[in-house]
Structure 1
Amino acid sequence: MDHIFSISKKPSKSLNPYKQTIFNKLEKSVLCSVSSTNVIAFCTESNIEECNSLFWSSNVYVADLNTPWQVHKILANSSPVTVLQWDYTGELLLVGDESGSAKIYKTKDYLWNEWSLVLQTNLQGEHILAAAFFHSGKRICLNLEKKENTSYIEKFQHVKFACSVKQFGGRPASGALLLTTTGMLAAVLLPQPTCQVPMIMTTESLGPSRIFVKTADICYGKNGHFLLAVSSGDPSMPIQCYKVSVKKEDAKCIIKSQSLLSFFLVEAPKEASMDQVVKEKNCTVSHIKWIMREDADSLVVTASSKKMSCLQVWELREKALPVHKAFASDTPQFFNTVLWQYQCHFQYNSQVTSLATNKLSLLNTLSSGYVVVTFADNSIHCLFRDTLKPIVYTTLSTMPRYVDEPNAKYQKISTTISSIDMSWLGNVLVCVDSDDSLHLFKLPPQMDSTSPLSVPYCTTILEYSLISGFDWLDLLLVLRPNMLDPICDRFTESFNRQPPAVQQFYYFQFLCIKTSLHRLGFQGQQRANDLTHFMMLHSISTAFKSLLRPSEMNSHEKSPADSLANVISEGQCDVDKALMHLEAKEFTVETATLQSLQQLIQWVADLALELLARLPDAPRAPSGAGASATTASKTYDLLRDVKALNMLREMLVLIRIWGLLRPACLPVFIKSDASLDVLPLIFRLLSRLVQNVSEPDDALIDECCLLPSQVQIQFLQPATNRVVLGSPQLFQQILPLQCLHEWTNSWII
């Protein structure tokens, strides 16, 4: 569990140290939650932006895991925040507080520093304790029996899983289920953006009568219901479980709650030493977590005091019980029933401060994944979730180190870990301490915790991210430098074995993953730039071709885009002769639309000029690569990618046609000879290059050498010059990295 970074708030220099010490010792509500897009949401009771202020407010911040020092405040709440919950897509963030207010926020135009309030509801006089968004019914797991299969369709299976609430036509509804400390349930359905139906909310009691709930957790059942585990905090009282279902009927919701089997912690065997834990002063059931987020049948429960803590795992199992002899026949008879059974325990001589389990189970079994627990002595323990045996252990250093001044100028404050959360792929652990500092730790591999990170495992996780749509940044942060090229090669080979339809569907996401891998390597920056330019070119090509419409739909078997591709494949070097083989009416676009595309047209022309200017200095491709070199090549080069070059030629033909309709949309060139027509020249040179990308002829190289003297070439800016955590410099730093919120580091570029 390597400590990757610590992000602290700016030190206060004007406040009275005595007042600051008192404020830091107060009990705070500190939470953190990581989304499926690797955005961290955390709440503190101090203002990170104004470090010299001690005015109380419960502030909710968000930060991208790739730039954790840049935080943005979403909300300054008047009541302590008790719930931070992301939805499955990572777009919606639910914030609940002690006063019963529930708010759902969403990013505006996909900018994480601009958030808008989607919904707000208030449960008057209630204290929101737990919440969960409705399940969408989508669940993808790795098929263990076909783990070595090359086909994504066989390797990853869509597990049958019902959505939480169905709308008309069986579509999943969007909303959330809330639980309060008085045992009240509230279901909230978000209004649909396409209709004028308002928000729908309904409430119901969890049990036959209202009960006091101190800690609870919610997971999803495979039939669309919710499973709730609750405790009053008293270790001598039972851990109660409920099955809750939400249905939408017309313009209202109906909540049904059914009591399930319960169990007592004191029923554990003597080796769990629960009697000794319960006798401790102020012993409470502090945390409850379902062992899996979806379709769980096991619970991990913590009973802790200031001196001792005990974690227990209980599992629902089917057990055969004998029928009483008064009702049985001569032969012994048994009937099967489901009971909670004690599985294992873990003891530690300190108080539990936070508990986390995996959000996803890639193998759909209890044997994969782990439990992470933190204690008041700042120790972090990673345990097998089915046996609670230790996997790895570390301790958070509590001494702050500020960047701009020495440690001696600041008072050393005793801090403890307040909240933890795992990333969705289970590769990193996010911690927030009582001093509002963010910490990031590496976690062992989820599917095989006993072995170090391997190339096959990382490739499988990247493939899972490709299929499921989850962000893979947390995996990039734990890779070793010598793993990048083997992972990239294995991932590319696996993708190229997929059927054409599968490749086409996931192609753009595949390029994004491959670009991020190249961006981590010192020798891969140019490859990352080329792939970024190719993705931009691919997007522009898709946008341009979407504007084309056949003149007569019934009389054409091929679309205009197909006709253009056929003309390009013939190898014509003269752009004007290529136009003669196309139907002019099919490529006609409104002049107003053409003018709005001028900047994209200019970018395409600049890219073509830059590639041709790079050709004389480009290294020769290895023998045998030839025209088959595509994005699958290990050392990707845009100059060797026949698909990209032909795409450029297609765009130049479109630009030539559209220039006849609207000359103002043509790209602008600064030429040494005013009579030079640049577009036909570029098209001719690219056409000759496509014929032999591995070894261009000397005449072509000579013409490319003369090109900068004929026309001014605007070189495109590199796309990788960013200040981010996932960069080659990360491997050269002494971990953990330490910096301040809203402070940019010069050592990560």
Structure 2
Amino acid sequence: MDHICTISKSNSKGNVHKHNLLNRLPKAILCTISTTNLIAFSTDCNLEYMGAFSWSAEVYVADLNSPWIIHKILSNPFHISLLQWDFTGELLLVGDERGNIKVYRTKDNVLNDWVIVVQTVLQGENILAAAFFHSGKKICINPEKKDCSIYTEKFQYVKFACSVKQFGGRPANGALLLTSTGLLCAILFPQLTSQTQQLIMATESLAPIRMFIKTADICYGKNGHFLLAVNRGNPSFPIQCFKVSVMKTGEKCIITSKALLSFFLSQSPKESMMEQIIKDKCGTVNQIKWLMKEDADSLVVAASCEKISCLQVWELREVSLPIHKVFNKQDTPQFFTTVLWQYQCHFQYNSKLTSLALSKLCLLNNISCGYVVVTFADNSIHCLYRDTLKSVVNTTLSITPRYTEEPNAKYQKIRVNFVNSDMSWLGNILLVVDSDNSLYLFKLPPQIDSSTPLSIPYCTTILEYCLLTGMDWLDLLLVLRPSMLDPLCDRLTESFNRQPNALQQYFYYQYLCIKISLYRLSAQGQQKANDLTLFLMLHNISTAFKSLLRPSEISSHDKSPGDSLSNVINEGQCDVDKLLMHLEAKEFTVEPTTLQSLQQLIQWVGDLALNLLIKVPDSRPSQTKGYELIRDVKALNMLREMLVLIRIWGLLRPACLPVFIKSDSNLDILALLFRLLSRLVQNVNEPDDSLIDDCCELSSQVQIHHTQLYSSNRTALASSQLAQQILPLQLEFGSEPEYLSGKDESHSGQTVDSIRHLFLGKDPRSIKQCVRCGSSTGIVSVTRTAAIRAWEQRWLRSCQCGGLWRMQTHS
């Protein structure tokens, strides 16, 4: 369990007295990680301004790739009692001890701008637990075909009912909440596109009589119901279980609750520490967790007193019990089958338990694999097997808050403890928060096979799972060893190329994003990452341009104009004007105003062709392994197709043509580029000497604008610099670490719009920047034709690498 980094607030004089006062207040510090690897955590002070003393509960959000850049979304006068992400990672539910419930989401998909989409209150209730409605979608590895190379056979959709059905069987969006007084609340969110639909809300008692609850957990049943486990905090009281169903009828919501089997901790073996905890007046049940979030039948219960803690796993099993002879009229013994909670195993430790985190993802259906991670008051972290509670690995940190210009005697009395923890969805990263509002990131062993180090087949399976489900894979990047990167890329490429053509086409964009992120982790892979980024943009532009084409006749609908263009290109014609004679002009006609709005994209295609051709003399012979754009025949043919389209559109609207500064005004640059690229495609590995000579003359014939390199201009954890640092890193909120910043010597100082391919100036006042790759884009669009609007809407949700946008403003 390697300690990656610690992120703490900046040191400031006078904070010691303030910390002493805050340390006496009850701690309600929480943290959670979403499926998109966003961190949400609460604090008991303002991390952005540490000057004045004023208590407040704050909620911050950060990206796991740059956790030092935090964004405050809420300042609350009461303790935050609940933080919960939904399955998509878009909605964040915040509940406090006074019953205030707020659901946040990003405004215009900008990470540092959040808005409330749902708000309600359960007056005087302490929000204890919550679960978003299940959508009914569940993908797992098929155990019988886990070694199969085809994705559709290796991964299977598991039959799982959604929590609440709407008209037509569609899953409803909402959440089920439980308060400390045993009150259930179901909230059905209005459709985000609807302006008139009202919030539907219903409440019901969990049990026939309202009861006090101190700890609880919620999981999903396969038939669409919820399973709840609750306890009053007293180890001598039973662990009670309930089955809760939510149904929507018209504009109302109905909650039904049914009591299930319960059990007492005192039923466990007497030799464990649980007996001492039950007898201790200070003994309490700290945590109850279902071992799996979907279709669970096992619970882990954590109880502790001042100096000892005990974890137990209880499993619901089917057992056969003998019928008493009074009721058995037959001579042979009779048995009846029933379901009972049975004690399985325990883990004991001589310190008070402070937090409990479990693996969230179930890769193998109904097969429990993963970990239970426990933190204790002595600041030790224990990673345990989920089924047996046997120790996998553990570590202990010595935490002492550091404050400048203060005598040691003032801060040595302050004790800082771990208070909460959470695992990333893929189970590779553990996030821990302490009572001093600092964050800690740790690496965890592989979940499926922890006996061996991280392996190439395991990582490939995880990346394939992310490819199919759309889940973020950033936490896996943080635990990869540098020596694994090239073999992992090769294996992923080999696996992807075995898929059917339709499947490859559907997942091609996400596949490229994964490969780019892997190459960025290596110092030798920056050029490969940049080449793939250029190809990804070329692929997107090609898709956008071809979507503007329409067949001229109804009979030719089975063959699109884009297919006709590809077939003509493959014939090997080197003269672009002769090639036009084989195309139907009507099929490639586009409105002149639309063509003019696409000029910046057309210019980028022309500049890319020039940049590739001037590299031909330096690329022979090939000494590097991995991806090179100049040797990708598919990319070169795609570029040739775009040059043909540009040639045709230039006849319709000459102003849309790319602008080149030429030494000879009579030189036809487009025709020259197409001819050179056509000759290069014939032999990309060993171009002939005449082609190399022609490419050498290009720099004297036309001025070449070098394409912007986006991959190295960023500061992030998942970078090639991380492997060169001595762990753990000591980071501060709001301060970018220079040693994690990419060195981009070719950067001109100008900010380039990575989406529209325009220059935004040296220091633009307001831009959107990707939190993953560092690419920038402008906020306001200049041209508003339908074609350019469709292009810009491709990138509203995220950057082309998959990262969220963050608003950057310079005064």
TM-score range, shorter chain: over 0.9
Displacement of 1:407 in angstroms is 11
What is the CA distance between 1:396 and its match in structure 2?
2.3
Asked whether the 8 Å contact 1:401–1:407 carries over to 2, the reply is no
Corresponding letter in the other structure for 2:632: D
| Contact 1:307–1:350 (8 Å) recurs in 2 | yes
Map of 1:7 onto structure 2: 7
SS at match of 2:321: strand
1:717 aligns with: 708
* 1:257-296 to 2 correspondences below 5 Å: 257-296=257-296
1:206 offset after TM fit, Å?
A: 0.7
Q: Please, which runs of 5 or more residues in structure 1 have no aligned partner?
A: 623-632
Question: Which residue number in structure 2 is paired with residue 607 of structure 1?
Answer: 608
1:627 maps to: none
Alignment correspondent of 2:371: 370
**Structure 2: distance between partners of 1:366 and 1:353:** 28
Tell me what 2:59 maps to: 60
* Partner SS for 1:285: strand
Partner of 2:698: 707
**Secondary structure of residue in 2 paired with 1:371:** strand
The 8 Å contact of residues 5 and 440 in structure 1, kept in 2 or not, is answered as: yes
Q: Which residue of 1 aligns with 2:498?
A: 497
Conserved 8 A contact 1:137-1:164: yes
> Residue 301 and residue 295 in structure 1: after superposition, are their counterparts in 2 closer, same or farther (change >3 A)?
same
* Closer/same/farther in 2, CA of residues 634 and 509 from structure 1, 3 Å limit: farther
Give the Cα separation in 1 of the matches to 2:225 and 2:529: 45
State the SS of the aligned residue for 1:709.
Answer: helix
Say if 2:235 and 2:277, in contact at 8 Å, map to a contact too. no
Q: AA paired with 2:303?
A: A
Q: TM-score, normalised by structure 2?
A: 0.89
2:725 is aligned with 1:733: yes
Contact 1:61-1:72 within 8 A present in 2 as well? yes
Whole-angstrom CA distance in 1 between matches of 2:409 and 2:137: 53
With over 3 angstroms needed to count, the CA separation of the structure-2 counterparts of 1:102 and 1:607, relative to structure 1, is same
Write the deviation string for residues 160-215 of structure 1: whole angstroms up to 9, x where unpaired.
11111111221111111111111111111111134432221111111111111111
**What amino acid is the match of 1:232?**
R
- 1:251 and 2:258 are equivalent in the alignment: no
- What is the distance in 2 between the residues matched to 1:619 and 1:260? 72
CA distance in structure 1 between the partners assigned to 2:616 and 2:364 by the alignment: 48
**How many Å separate the matches in 1 of 2:218 and 2:296?**
10
CA distance in 2 between counterparts of 1:27 and 1:112 reads 30
Secondary structure of the corresponding residue to residue 650 of structure 1: helix
Q: Tell me the amino acid that sits aligned with residue 668 of structure 2.
A: D
Output the amino acid matched with 1:218.
I
Instruction: Compute the displacement of 1:332 (Å).
Output: 1.3
**Partner amino acid for 2:146?**
K
Partner of 1:234: 234
- Distance in 2 between residues matched to 1:405 and 1:730, nearest whole Å: 31
CA–CA distance in structure 2, aligned partners of residues 718 and 400 of structure 1: 41
SS at match of 1:271: coil
Q: Distance in 2 between matches of 1:16 and 1:418?
A: 20
Amino acid at match of 2:149: T
On the 8 A contact 1:548/1:588 being kept in 2, the answer is: yes
Normalised by the size of structure 1, how large is the TM-score?
0.96
Q: Alpha carbons of 1:426 and 1:227: their partners in 2 closer, same or farther (altered >3 Å)?
A: same
Distance 1:574 1:655 in 2: 14
2:690 is the counterpart of 1:691: no
What are the equivalent positions in structure 2 for 1:614-653 lying under 5 Å apart?
Answer: 614-621=615-622, 635-653=626-644
Match of 1:138 in 2: 137
d(CA) in 2 for partners of 1:354 and 1:493? 42
Q: Residues 656 and 91 from structure 1, CA distance in 2 versus in 1: closer, same or farther, beyond 3 angstroms?
A: same
Output aligned runs, 1:47-126, within 5 Å.
47-126=46-125
Q: Aligned ranges for residues 572-587 of structure 1 at < 5 Å? A: 572-587=573-588
CA distance in 2, matches of 1:409, 1:559: 78
Letter in 2 for 1:338: V
1:32 equivalent to 2:31? Answer: yes
Deviations 1:72-126 (A, max 9, x none): 1111112211111111111111111111111111122322112221111111121
Instruction: Note the residue ranges of structure 2 that are not aligned, 5 or more in a row.
Output: 743-811
Paired residue for 2:466? 465
Change (3 A) 1:730 1:16: closer
Q: Is the 8 A contact 2:133 2:172 kept in 1?
A: yes
Letter in 2 for 1:171: R
Question: Which residue number corresponds to residue 795 of structure 2?
Answer: none
Aligned length: 737
Give the letter for the 1:102 counterpart. I
Residue 213 of structure 1 corresponds to which residue in structure 2?
213
Distance 1:743 1:31 in 2: 23
SS in 2 for 1:270: coil
Partner of 2:452: 451
Distance 1:367 1:135 in 2: 20
Instruction: Give how far 1:63 is off.
Output: 0.7
SS in 1 for 2:616: helix
CA gap of 1:117–1:35, structure 2 versus 1, over 3 A, is same
Q: Tell me the equivalent position of 2:355.
A: 354
For the Cα contact (< 8 Å) 1:41–1:84, is it kept in 2? yes
Quote the Cα distance in structure 2 between the aligned partners of 1:461 and 1:658: 44
Whether 2:411 is the aligned partner of 1:394: answer no
Q: Does 1:682 find its partner at 2:673? A: yes
Residue number in structure 2 paired with 1:335? 336
Q: Give the partner amino acid of 1:250.
A: G
Of 499-508 and 586-595, deviating more is 586-595
Q: Mean Cα displacement is larger for which, 252-261 or 669-678?
A: 669-678
Contact conserved, 2:59 with 2:74, CA < 8 A, in 1?
A: yes
Please report how far the alpha carbon of residue 408 of structure 1 lies from its aligned counterpart in structure 2 after TM superposition.
Answer: 7.1
Conserved 8 A contact 2:56-2:76: yes
| Separation of aligned partners in 1, 2:597 and 2:189 | 37
Q: State whether residues 238 and 265 of structure 1, in contact with CA within 8 Å, keep that contact through their aligned partners in structure 2.
A: yes
CA deviations over 1:530-556 (Å, ceiling 9, x no partner):
011111111111111111112233454
Deviation at 1:634, TM superposition (A): 5.4
Letter in 2 for 1:358: S
Q: Is the 8 A contact 1:431 1:440 kept in 2?
A: yes
SS in 1 for 2:543: helix
Q: CA RMSD in A?
A: 1.7
Kept in 2: contact 1:165–1:173 (CA 8 A): yes
Answer yes or no: is the 8 Å Cα contact 2:11–2:402 preserved in 1: no
2:303 maps to 1:303: yes
Cα distance in 2 between the residues matched to 1:553 and 1:212 = 70
Tell me if the contact between 1:560 and 1:586 (Cα under 8 Å) persists in the aligned partners. Answer: yes
**Aligned residues with identical type, % of pairs:** 68
